[in-house]
Structure 1
Amino acid sequence: MSSKHHKIRVGISIGDFNGIGPEIILKSLKDKSITDFFTPVIFGSGKLFTYQKNVFKLQTNFNYINSAKEAQGGKINMVNLTKENSNVEFGVPTEESTKMAIDSLESATQALLNNEIDVIVTAPINKDEMMKYGFAHAGHTGYFEEKAGKKAVMFMVTEDLKVAVSTHHIPVSEIANNINKEKLKKQIKQLVSTLKEDFCVEKPKIAVLGLNPHAGDGGVIGKEEIEIIEPAIKELFNNGTLAFGPYPADSFFQPGKYKAFDAVLAMYHDQGLAPFKTIAYEEGVNYSAGLPFVRTSPDHGVAYDIAGKNLADETSFSEAIFTAIKIFKNREEYHDLMSNRLRPKPAHANNGIDEDLPKEK
């Protein structure tokens, strides 16, 4: 359903409820005017959220529903996945909190695939614990890739800094073997498409980081730059893609450098996320780029150390919600624009003569 005809329905999975997931969700929705901007649909438990809102002294009211199809505008909707009491043990993952995280994610995703919600925002999960109970992926990205049948790029975004990573959640020892020319070319092309369609960047400029210290130092500290990364960049550049590099990662994230580009492609997780979270921790958003649907999340984890203490900052989760809404609208506008541009103009019977022009006497 087009956002032109309704407020965007934001599906929210709750993550591990013994972490800070419910707290940052509740805090993000605490303003009574929030439903003027979108329709929240939480996939959780009424009793669980009632307990947690009392812990954090928040006055949130829910519209309890059995399915996302029943969600009402102007209300904070709660798809009640269970009517049982939840045993909250802040700060530690339990079988109950882990299974609820899986159930919430799967229910929200199914609603997304059924077009019952427009976008999905995921609260933090404990990946290790979820895998113990049958979750087959080392994170959200792989899960959504499987559901979409398409590869995604992990893209960390703010207004001023956007960082993607070529390899996701894999051991450092496996990084070099998971980088190749064709993969890099596909990822850079995907970033270009994402920036155009989802962020309204007309001519994206992509900076690519090297894998090795000092970007290999001319081959002295590794050959991947010379043999893989440089050829990929050169081939794309010669075909019109504004890709540049490879740049040494240790000196790249200075304001005068990274702000000259629309996005950065790092070779591995910590190479990109460590500087990103340092520069943009509070407002950073994790976006799964390249999928047919919009999924975002905050750029932090479950934070068991502060769970239940009313210390969690909801800024990143709020940013994740509004980033998802913005991307959804941008993508709709882009597709409308391209559709109109490609639609053939109707032929006129006047052989090109404008009937509004004055006729010769």
Structure 2
Amino acid sequence: MALPRLALVPGEPAGIGPELCVRVAQAPRTDCSLVALADPEVLAAAAAALGLPLNLLPADAVARQPGDLPLHPVRNAVAVQFGRPDPRNARAVVDALLGAAEGCVRGVYQGMVTGPVQKSTINEGGIAYTGTTELLAGHAGREVVMMLANDIVRVALATTHLPLRKVADAIDAPLLRQVLGILHSAMREDFGIADPVVAVLGLNPHAGEDGHLGREELDVVIPVLEALRAEGMHLVGPLPADTAFLPGRLRGFDAVLAMYHDQGLPVLKYSGFERAVNLTLGLPYPRVAVDHGTALDLAGKGLADPSSLEAAVTTCARMAAQRMQR
């Protein structure tokens, strides 16, 4: 079977994304081929800062030596200074992401891997931007679920970037059915798990303590879980969040659904932040991102750890290969 071809988008050109892409290009890959959508001058500057070889090839070429990187050029409006984002380059950042997404939809690429973006700079550039997940969901016209993963645990989120005051109102039956449906399908289609076991956390302490600490579990979560179990899903819970992540329990789960951002992600990041990746489930293609920011203070200094981007490429390659087998 042919190797999946993945679009590689560095993200904010003044951040660490370009140098991470250069580092990833140093090792020959046996699981996928990569095509960068980026400005060639920025990648060349990153390679020079790192003192590493970089040979930019046509987009349809094959990387054979360390430093080879096929490229689809997406040029910035103005020259880039590492550590200093320029809003005038916001359009190029978004165009690279949308170009990769369009290539995935058309079958040019079998997945996309993305570096960190600077949301504030994109908005300052006159482009309304809440996040790459939302951008890609809008492009595909799909409802999506955010999931972060490392070698120890996969954590999906029922709600993402909401103030705590709004979380309880957002957790309703239609949302939970939608999120669990997307998560269940992704476990089967992208990870090849025929009967995934998903642990569902309660919203309240002790999963509501039979209604004494909140009724969301009794009124919303439990009825949804019972209905989906009757449809064939293997769901465990609602579980108290303070004990669900114990190692002995985690070994029995393929994924965990947390009700809100800081309920599940601190545990994941503590257990292995360097190898953590951010996945967008529900798209018509695999999308995996690094789980860190642009690190502007490190940009151009050769100090950035490429572990998360390496993990993102490996994870996306596996997901793409799984889809290609269907």
Task: Give the TM-score of the pair, scaled to structure 1.
Answer: 0.83
Matched, 1:18 2:14: yes
| Structure 1 Cα separation of the partners of residues 106 and 26 of structure 2 | 28
Q: Is the 8 A contact 1:121 1:321 kept in 2?
A: yes
Among 65, 73, 76, the residue aligned to 2:69: 76
Secondary structure at the counterpart of residue 170 of structure 1 = coil
Distance 1:84 1:95 in 2: 10
Output the amino acid matched with 1:294.
P
Runs of 4+ in 1 over 6 A off after TM superposition: none
Q: Is the 8 A contact 1:47 1:85 kept in 2?
A: no
When structure 1 is superposed on structure 2, of 10-19 and 77-86 the one drifting more is 77-86
Shift of 1:164: 0.3
Q: CA deviation at 1:196?
A: 1.3
Aligned to 1:356: none
Q: CA deviation at 1:97?
A: 4.4
Q: Closer, same or farther in 2 for the Cα pair 1:332/1:112, shift >3 Å?
A: closer
Contact 2:140 2:284 (C-alpha < 8 Å) held by counterparts: yes
Residue pairs, 1:1-361, within 5 angstroms: 4=1, 6-31=2-27, 33-34=28-29, 36-63=30-57, 65=58, 70-74=59-63, 75-82=68-75, 86-90=79-83, 92-333=84-325, 335=326
Matched to 1:172, the amino acid is: L
Kindly provide the CA deviation profile for residues 203-244 of structure 1, in whole angstroms up to 9, marking residues without a partner as x. Answer: 111100111222222223222111111111122223332111
Code of the residue aligned with 1:76 in structure 2: it is: L
What is the Cα-based RMSD across aligned positions, in Å? 2.0
What percentage of aligned pairs have identical amino acids?
A: 31
Secondary structure of the structure 1 residue equivalent to 2:120: helix
Structure 2 portions without partners, runs of 5+: none
Separation in structure 2 between the aligned mates of residue 314 and residue 131 of structure 1, nearest angstrom: 27
Residue identity matched to 2:114: T
Question: C-alpha distance in 2, partners of 1:304/1:221?
Answer: 43
Query: What TM-score, normalized to structure 2?
Result: 0.92
Specify the code of the residue in structure 2 equivalent to 1:323.
T
Query: C-alpha distance in 2, partners of 1:147/1:238?
Result: 34
For residue 27 of structure 1, what is the amino acid of its counterpart? R
Q: 1:93 to 1:84 in 2, by over 3 A?
A: closer
User: How far apart, in 1, do the equivalents of 2:92 and 2:79 lie?
Assistant: 9
Separation in 1, partners of 2:61, 2:78: 25
Q: Is the 8 A contact 1:155 1:289 kept in 2?
A: yes
The runs of 5 or more residues in structure 1 that have no matched partner are 336-361
Question: How many equivalent residue pairs?
Answer: 322
In 1, the alpha carbon distance for the partners of 2:191 and 2:301 equals 36
Q: Larger radius of gyration, structure 1 or 2?
A: 1
